[in-house]
Every structure is written in structure tokens, then in C-alpha cells.
Amino acid sequence: MEKALIAMSGGVDSSVAAALMQEKGYDCIGITMKLYDSETGQACRSRTCCTLEDVEDARQVASTLSMPFYVLNFKDDFQKKVILPFVETYENGGTPNPCIRCNRFMKHDKLYQRAEELSCSYIVTGHYARIEKDESSGRYLLKKAKDEKKDQSYVLYFLSQEQLAHTLFPLGEYSSKEEVREIADKYGFINSDKPDSQDICFVTNGDYGDFLEKFRGKPYPSGDFVDENGKKLGEHRGTVRYTIGQRKGLGLSLKKPMYVSGKNIEKNQVILSDKEGIYFEGLLANDFNWISLPPTEDMAVEAKTRYNGKAVPAIVSVRENGDVFLRFPEKERAVTKGQAVVLYDGDLVLGGGTIVEGYKKL
């Protein structure tokens, strides 16, 4: 009997993934990762994950399934690999996606190592995505979930061929979240109607600026809002509190709607413009992982530049150093440094990387 390590967050998705693996005859071990001390700070809201309540929910589901269950302490690694880069990206003028780094360095790195130690053939998570093997090429493919509204392939672009070969996403074949909840209800899971987590787990009050200042132990200096010509429009509360495309929450009374279109970190300025100023003709990305083989010449693709964005047409070219340049035939809104760009061919994930620069004019 093959063994599978189930990453259990305490949510309904990973719980149902565990049940489905048992139904398929796998010998399952449940693992919950302890990533940070939620009990020492403000109480986490129900829209986050990784709380003490989540750990107990996972433990109870594992007990219902008569499955061995362990809690692993990865707090130091989480601090180094997720929280610190989150802070540094904001300080350098970007907007990070810590969930991608958590999936990459915690679930699919640390847990992958632990699975090997426990002689598990597979890591299993509750992500909505699909893995298939292309028999003609021998390569593993990552594809969108059947339920495109729940698809999470965007946060999984980093998976290597080795990881894809030893990872299973049982929920990827389901057409709706309602089906998944029905399975949880059938098993009598305590979390069958638990809301989905949507907020960053370690930002307990939802205010990124407050978290950053608490982490660093100091406030970020205020500075000038300026227009694209450098004219002062008002005072901001620290560059880390703003992101490209933002219109609300600026605290300004202006004659017309204006949006955050850039930052000048050296001058401690947040640049505002009209709506046209937040549209980009291209971008550069690094740390790129190709799941399919990289193209040898310019290629038409679809690109997503943020998790909740739509995939839009783009032309991709690969530079000699491995960086990826994208050109948008129709300008793309709010291309943001620090976010991921993920390339698709229909429902097939070609690869992805981190945006290092957006270009308004090419």
C-alpha cells in the first residue's frame, strides 16, 4: 500500500483531500505545519488560516479518519522564507504574494523532505489544480482545475518535474466547491461549512502597514504624494502602505480620481496619476520556472499578473540569462513589482516567475 502525506490546514478542502486519498486505498499520514505564534498576537480572524483552531480542526478530522496526525514546527523557516521576504519586498517598493512562497518553501519543500523521511510516495494538498503526465514527452503537466472559479494553479507555477511526479491534487477534478462540502458533510467533518480562508495568516488585523511597523519595531516615514511631473499633492503615511493601481484609502481630496502608479523609494514618494497611468505595455520577470519546455523564439501566450486577475494575451520572449520579457498587445492594468506572472496555454500552465519591472512604454 502506497503512503501519502496529507498537508492538513484545518480547512474543508484539505480534509476532503485526505478522505478521498483514503477512499483510493492510500495509507495516509496527516501533517499540520506550525508556522507562527498566532496565540501571542492579536486573535486571528476567521478568514485567515493556521490558527490554533485550525490545528484542532485538522486533528479532529484526522481522528475521524483514524489517520496518524502530527504537528510540525516550521516557525523559523517560515520567518526566513516567507515573512522576511514579505517585509523586504514592501520596503523595496513591491507588493509580495506570501502565499506563493509558503506553498513553495513550506508545503512543497519542507513537507516534501518530510515525506521522503516517512517513505511517502506523494504529498497531497487541497489545492484546486490538476497534474497530468504527457506520455509522449514524459513530462508532467500542471493544469487549471475543472472549477475555474476555484482554480489555484497561479500559486503553484514553481513546481518542478520531481515535485509534480510526487504530488496529488484530488480536488482538481471536481466541478464545484459545493460537491466538496457535500463530501465533508457525508463524513461528518467538523469543518464542513467552515468559510474559506482569504487573508494573509500572519497579518492578524488586515493592515499590512501596521504589521510591517510592528515587525521592524519602528514607523515608516511619511512623505509626499506627487503627480507624474513631481508636483506635490499631499502627504502619505509610508510607501509600504500603497500598491500599484490603488485608488481608495489615499486620504486625499482631489479634483479627479487618481491612482497609485509608482513609487520612488529613494525620495520616499508615492506617485499618482490618472487611470491611463496604471496601464502597462510590458514587464520583465525573473526566477522563472518553466513547467513546459521554454520557447526558443517569441511565442503567443495568456498571462495572469495577479491571483484574481484574468489571463490576457501576451507575447513572451526568453532572454539569455533566463529572464522573461512579456509584451501586451493590449495594455495590462496595474502590473506590480513583486507579484507573480504566470503563463498559460488554455488550461495548461506553461510556467511563471516574479515581476521585477513593469513598462508603461516600450
Radius of gyration of the chain, Cα coordinates, nearest whole angstrom: 22
Beta strands, E only, the chain: 3-7, 27-34, 69-73, 122-124, 129-133, 140-144, 167-168, 223-226, 232-236, 259-264, 269-273, 279-290, 299-304, 312-318, 324-333, 340-345, 348-359
- Residue 164 CA to residue 155 CA, distance in Å, equals 14
Q: How far is CA 238 from each of CA 90, 213, 219, 268, rounded to the nearest angstrom?
A: 10, 10, 8, 8
Report whether 313 contacts 280 (CB < 8 A).
Answer: no
201 included as an active-site residue: yes
28 included as an active-site residue: no
Strands 167-168 and 122-124: parallel
Binding residues for ATP: 7-14, 33, 126
Residue whose entry in the numeric block shows the C-alpha cell 493544469: 143
Which phi and psi angles does 81 have, rounded to 5°?
Answer: -90, -20
Q: Which among 330, 359, 341, 327 has a CA at the least distance from the CA of 285?
A: 341
Q: Which among 320, 331, 309 has a CA at the least distance from the CA of 344?
A: 309
∠ Cα 270 275 281 (to 5°): 90
3-state class (DSSP) for residue 15:
helix
- Residue 85 CA to residue 278 CA, distance in Å, equals 25
Binding residues: 7-14, 33, 126
Quickly list DSSP for 84-149.
HHHHHHHHTT----HHHHHIIIIIIIIHHHHHHHTT-SEEE---SEEEEE-TTT--EEEEE-SSTT
- Residue 20 CA to residue 171 CA, distance in Å, equals 9
Known catalytic residues are 102, 201
